[in-house]
Amino acid sequence: MANHKSALKRIRSSATRRLRNRYQAKTTRNLVKKLRQTTAKSEALPLLSKVSSMLDRLAKRNVIHKNKASNNKAKLAKYVNKLS
């Protein structure tokens, strides 16, 4: 166990950040799944912009790698563009 005050605070704050990161990543994954199940383009377009911004936010905060976010956005955009 940590002996210093700053180490104890670091443990608390990193646990808080970890929970927040996991929540945001899981929420984004759920929205990606929802977007993949959408069959109408009119429903998918607003969802795509929301998912894209969430992926960008995760990449900016280093929750996921920036290339992973970019790849996911490209694949989702390709999927939405194929919808009719």
Specify the residue for token string 């993949």. 36
Distance separating alpha carbons of residues 21 and 28, to the nearest angstrom: 11
What is the overall mean pLDDT for the chain?
A: 96
Report, at the CATH architecture level, how domain 5-82 is classified: Up-down Bundle (1.20)
- C-beta of residue 77 within 8 angstroms of C-beta of residue 48: yes
- C-beta of residue 39 within 8 angstroms of C-beta of residue 30: no
Q: What is the pLDDT of residue 32?
A: 98
Could you tell me the residue ranges of all domains in the chain? 5-82
- Tokens standing for 70? 């970019």
Q: What is the pLDDT of residue 42?
A: 95
Q: Which amino acid is at 29?
A: R
Q: Is the pLDDT of residue 20 over 90?
A: yes
